[in-house]
Amino acid sequence: MSTAIVITSGKGGTGKTSLTGGVGSCLAALGHKVLCMDMDIGLRNLDLTLGLSDRALMDFTDVLTGRCPLERAVTPHPVIQGLSMLTAPVTPPREPISQSAVRDLVRQAKGFFDYILIDSPAGLGTGFQLAACAADRGIVVSTTDASALRDAQHTVSILWGRMPHIHLVVNRVQPRLLRRLHTTIDDAMDTAGLPLLGLVPEDPQVMLSANQGTPLILCASRGAAQAYLNIAKRLLGQKVPLMKLR
């Protein structure tokens, strides 16, 4: 059974795109067919995270308008077997995109892929609604700062009831800062009101790999790369202990 997962937060800068690319890469490395779908029209960055910026020739609106079939629009990764990307358009389309069209697109993708990871744009407007409308489950990404947690809580209130499973990922965690602020991951979970799917430490290698156009798992095995792998395994139903961040 194929599963579509929306990765969102409500607030920009929490690391949704890095998480989408990282977890998608790990799911593919674990033997699954994965489509990472960028829904951030006009501000797409998923291609940079996956190292596919020079390879994506078509975007998802080409499929919606019938200019090409889904099989031609997706961009397979040249190194990570089973991983593909469907990018967003650089400019908004002339005609508005309907939720029914996106649901049909995701339904098509389920015929080819085991997992569809949908990278939602920042905010809770039309782009967010389009990204979430076809998802079977959701991952809400937050950092530990108060504004991000408040936005995560608001995002949860909107998603609640639309899908049976919504989880929290706390990203860019800095243990020393947490101790100074006298906050804990439990506080983050309580504020967002979600079960915890994973912790991702602050890791400069995430930005370095994106700038180099190389998926993180191809150049690192610790830090955020290990966290992405743990999250991927939990999505598959495996029991993996939380990372111990020092």
Residue 243 falls inside a structural domain? no
CA distance readout (Å), 68 to 42, 57, 58, 75, 115: 20, 11, 8, 13, 22
pLDDT for residue 180: 72
Q: Domain of 223: which CATH number?
A: 3.40.50.300
Residue 189 falls inside a structural domain? yes
Residue 242 falls inside a structural domain? no
pTM recorded for the entire structure: 0.93
Tokens encoding 104: 């049909």
Residue 82 falls inside a structural domain? yes
- In total, how many domains does the chain have? 1
Cα(37)–Cα(117) distance, integer angstroms:
6
pLDDT for residue 181: 67
Cα(226)–Cα(50) distance, integer angstroms:
17
Residue 240 falls inside a structural domain? no
Domain carrying residue 65: 3-235
- pLDDT, tens digit, 9 for 90 and up, residues 203-224: 999 999 988 888 999 998 899 9
Residue 60 falls inside a structural domain? yes
What string of pLDDT tens digits covers the 246 residues of the chain? Answer: 899 999 998 778 899 999 999 999 999 999 999 999 999 988 889 999 999 988 888 999 999 999 999 999 999 999 999 999 999 988 888 888 999 999 999 999 999 999 999 999 988 888 899 999 999 999 999 998 888 888 888 888 888 888 889 999 999 998 887 777 677 777 777 777 788 899 999 999 999 998 888 899 999 889 999 999 999 999 999 999 887 776
Residue 57 falls inside a structural domain? yes
Residue 226 falls inside a structural domain? yes
